Structure 1
Amino acid sequence: MNRKIQTDPASTDLRGNPLRFAFYGRTSTTRHQDRVSSQGWQRDMADGLVAGHGQVVVAYFDAGTSRRVPWRQRPQAAQLMAAASSPGSAIDAIVVGEYERAFTGTQFTTLYAWCTRHGIQLWLPETGGPVDLGNRDHRALLSLLATQSQREVLRARHRVLAAMHNQATQQGRYLGGRPPYGYQLVDAGPHPNPADARWGRRLQRLAPDPRTAPHVAWMFRQRLAGHSVASIARHLNERGVPCPSSADPDRNRHRTRGAWTLRTVAVILANPRYTGRQIWNRRASATDGPASTPALSAKVVHPALVTEQAFVAAQQVRAARPASDGQTRQFALAGLIHCGICNRRLDSHWNHGRPTYRCRHGHTSTQRASQPRPKTLYIREDHLVDELTIQLGDEGTDGYAEPELRRPRHKRVAAALRGAGKIIVYDGAGWRLEEIDSS
């Protein structure tokens, strides 16, 4: 904005008592923005604003931090706030080079209130000096700036997501991230953007990793043969096959490099990239707008490790697990029973034709039992429902409206527990009700 609201000269002419300013600036990325240039022009704006009123005595600049991150969570901004509020602080005012570089949403109002409490002025180029929210024009301008900054964020987000969605679906372009287990990255030629190509940037694509691709193909064959996910994970561990975090530790530093787990195998078996199609945004957010759906390339763009027919069949094996009598198993108290020994939630388990719950204290089917552990706990749902009915005072009629009376008793008991915010704690010797820990 070019318009500047001039404040009362008497309130800003402080040459007799120069102010000590702390400069704050920010840039969103370090890969696509030049920190030195960005910090330079923001600092120039700030120096020009405070000329004649004082000087910048300390500078703080966050590089690679989104404007949506609150000030207290930005490394440099948090240091500035700590320094300005410390006893004997040498900071009288904070100055920024541009509103949009520093604030979005309600961040300015929050910081302004904090500055007021600590007797610190807040200077903006857009107001031509210190901000005064008691000034009607300042309030109107700051409201407009907040809206404009938020709109800029949303517009940029929408454009980037829409472009990436198109690049994945229509071009099949690899858009970054760790390559899935079984693949490695190879060169795919110069970047299609001429400017990026002149800078030497190149595209990448997925290619089978000769070390791990055979294991992926084996997993799908095992799944199509009817083996459980737990069985597949157990055999991989017994054969000493490196799991993803062990096979590619540089890209999986956040993982433990342990053994294969149920989730690891299940994620691989559910990843459509193994059919040769590119996918992006599998875990799309509802806030992504038009690009809120996962993007699957319209054509095969890299070598497949499994055919599309086999991949679809593998998903059906996972989904189709009917009981031998064709009925759907229902567990009314699922998630409501906790182990009094290890504090885990008991697993739902169908046993002798009835719903039961068990706790194996962390043991899973992916590994053979080796270390001693407490005895597995079992408890029947019907026994629990009978005892809970007595303790909760529900004889099947009192306190329920007519539609509720038609619900099975075990469902009424489960609904009562959830409504009261209670869980069942069972230790093998007995059970008790406890409040759900909301912390």
Structure 2
Amino acid sequence: MSTVEFQDRETSSGWQREVAEETVRGRGVIVAEYFDEGCSLRLPWRERPAAAQLMAAAEHPNRPFDAVVIGEYERAFYGDQFNAVLTTLREQGIQLWLPEANGPVNLDDPVHQALMLLLGSQSRREVLRARHRVLAAMHVQARVQGRFLGGRPPYGYRPADAGPHPNRAHASWGRRMHRLEPDPATAPWVRSTFQQRATGRSVAGIARELNDRGIPCPSSADQVGNRYRTKHEWIVRTLVGILENPRYTGQQIWNRHGARTTGPDHHGAPTRPPAARGWAESDKVTHPALVDEATFLAIQGLRAARPTQDGGKRTYVLAGLVGCRLCGRRLDSHWVNGRPGYRCRHGHTSARNRPPELAKNIYVREDHLLDDLCVRSAETVGADDAAIADYLGSNNLAIICGGPTREVRACSSQSVLAAVDETAGEQLLIL
């Protein structure tokens, strides 16, 4: 049973067991039952709890059964899963029975081969057909009708009653429509965030002020809807998600997949981010806006990537290959004084004030690292910067910085492969 919200376990398992009992009647008895709830049909059997237990029981030498009977093929298999399960069971000397085969499946029989092909295609078609109809209907409901289709409302909004459900059957069950309305507790902070960003203030500065003032972030304001989020503070990524969300202009959005801004168009005017595949945007305003369209578009332009002063592209040869000895994090790429380098702030971000007990930032210039590496690796790797970076990456090595020495270590091992004493001026050695 793939969903638990719209199906009843007792009914669903009951009719499937009845089919299974009819299949084995007069030839055997059912000694155990395995029934999965809330698992997608696409998941392999090893990733479904009950199916995984069945496979584990099948591998046990003292198992109490010698055959497995499936009550409904389309509830058990998707695509080529049947062949994989059948092969595994046959290796254990266990038969697989299906109602359509009126008993055990024998793939050496051409009739059974054709039957399995038909059932597999039918199962895939049923899943794809149901998905297409549901997604197409929800797309129209969001774009044409502007309906709020459920889910966690954006920060700054709360769900409000919008009358009886338009489906008569659902309405008879007491289900109601919902719409978005501004949340008096959080909507003012969303408006303030857009206003401050429109004046050119940095996102990190806004996040830092919200944290200092104790303003609840989305995971704090709605802990029920954000059960999987453990931190309760503003971060830059959270604010960027708010500033990029067109739902704050009053339009309903459905099926939005992390769109990115495109910046100014060829006329110099900021544009909305392009709709991702399947993204539906309502044709009209459906709920009160927390920011006007002009301000929203202007902010998208502010978040566009800024070119370097010389119009060039910044490259970091050792990006992802430099680690911190003090906290274990990888150093961030950091451009200072016209040259690349790497920096570690030990988990501190600009979204909050720096704790006084936090260790000082670590900064190392890329050219210093490459010079040390080139001297000692010229014979084995070569003096080319790109070759050195490829060597480190392909051998799972990282340069560990911080303290009096720099070391090259295997990422999955604590053993030091090479070291250099910076105070003594010794060169870095790759073994």
**Range into which the TM-score falls when normalised by the shorter chain:** 0.7 to 0.9
CA distance in 2, matches of 1:271, 1:411: 39
Aligned identity (percent) is: 55
- Paired amino acid for 1:383: H
**Larger mean Cα displacement after TM superposition, 330-339 or 91-100:** 330-339
- Pick from 270, 289, 304: which aligns with 2:244? 270
- Pick from 267, 292, 299: which aligns with 1:307? 292
- Pick from 397, 401, 419: which aligns with 1:426? 401
How far has the Cα of 1:346 moved from its partner? 1.1
Q: Name the SS for the 2:127 alignment partner.
A: helix
How far has the Cα of 1:327 moved from its partner? 5.4
Q: Tell me, which stretches of 5 or more residues in structure 1 are unaligned?
A: 1-26, 400-408
**Equivalent residue number for residue 102 of structure 2:** 128
Number of residue pairs matched?
A: 398
8 Å CA contact 1:377–1:428 kept in 2: the answer is: no
Q: Cα deviations across residues 242-264 of structure 1 (Å, max 9, x unaligned)? A: 11111111111111142111211
**Equivalent residue number for residue 301 of structure 2:** 316
Q: Which has the higher helix share?
A: 1
**Match status 1:81 vs 2:55:** yes
Aligned runs of 1:374-393 on 2, under 5 Å?
A: 374-393=359-378
**Larger mean Cα displacement after TM superposition, 96-105 or 369-378:** 369-378
**Equivalent residue number for residue 208 of structure 1:** 182
Q: Cα deviations across residues 40-87 of structure 1 (Å, max 9, x unaligned)? A: 221221111111012222222222222112222222222333344435
- Pick from 331, 335, 345: which aligns with 1:350? 335
CA distance in 2, matches of 1:417, 1:83: 45
- Pick from 149, 156, 161: which aligns with 1:187? 161
User: CA 1:317–1:421 in 2, change beyond 3 Å: closer, same or farther?
Assistant: same
CA distance in 2, matches of 1:353, 1:257: 36
**Match status 1:229 vs 2:203:** yes
CA distance in 1, matches of 2:282, 2:400: 48
User: CA 1:389–1:298 in 2, change beyond 3 Å: closer, same or farther?
Assistant: farther
**Match status 1:177 vs 2:162:** no
**Match status 1:148 vs 2:122:** yes
How far has the Cα of 1:322 moved from its partner? 4.5
- Paired amino acid for 1:424: I
**Equivalent residue number for residue 137 of structure 1:** 111
- Paired amino acid for 2:115: L
- Paired amino acid for 1:157: R
- Paired amino acid for 1:108: F
- Paired amino acid for 2:69: V
8 Å CA contact 2:44–2:81 kept in 1: the answer is: yes
- TM-score scaled to structure 2, two decimals? 0.84
How far has the Cα of 1:271 moved from its partner? 1.2
- Paired amino acid for 2:375: I
- Paired amino acid for 2:358: R
Q: Name the SS for the 2:29 alignment partner.
A: strand
User: CA 1:393–1:252 in 2, change beyond 3 Å: closer, same or farther?
Assistant: same
User: CA 1:267–1:51 in 2, change beyond 3 Å: closer, same or farther?
Assistant: same
| Cα RMSD for the two superposed structures | 2.8
Q: Name the SS for the 1:144 alignment partner.
A: helix
Aligned runs of 1:8-407 on 2, under 5 Å?
A: 27-283=1-257, 292-323=277-308, 328-370=313-355, 372-393=357-378
8 Å CA contact 1:356–1:378 kept in 2: the answer is: yes
8 Å CA contact 2:256–2:276 kept in 1: the answer is: no
- Paired amino acid for 2:322: I
User: CA 1:394–1:197 in 2, change beyond 3 Å: closer, same or farther?
Assistant: farther
- Paired amino acid for 1:102: A
8 Å CA contact 1:39–1:61 kept in 2: the answer is: yes
Q: Cα deviations across residues 81-104 of structure 1 (Å, max 9, x unaligned)? A: 334443532222211112111111
CA distance in 1, matches of 2:403, 2:242: 37
User: CA 1:422–1:170 in 2, change beyond 3 Å: closer, same or farther?
Assistant: farther
**Larger mean Cα displacement after TM superposition, 151-160 or 416-425:** 416-425
CA distance in 1, matches of 2:396, 2:199: 43
CA distance in 2, matches of 1:359, 1:326: 27
User: CA 1:411–1:114 in 2, change beyond 3 Å: closer, same or farther?
Assistant: closer
How far has the Cα of 1:324 moved from its partner? 5.8
Q: Tell me, which stretches of 5 or more residues in structure 2 are unaligned?
A: 260-274, 414-431
Q: Name the SS for the 1:189 alignment partner.
A: strand
CA distance in 2, matches of 1:420, 1:370: 37
- Paired amino acid for 1:277: Q
CA distance in 2, matches of 1:35, 1:276: 40
User: CA 1:85–1:143 in 2, change beyond 3 Å: closer, same or farther?
Assistant: same
- TM-score scaled to structure 1, two decimals? 0.82
CA distance in 2, matches of 1:284, 1:216: 19
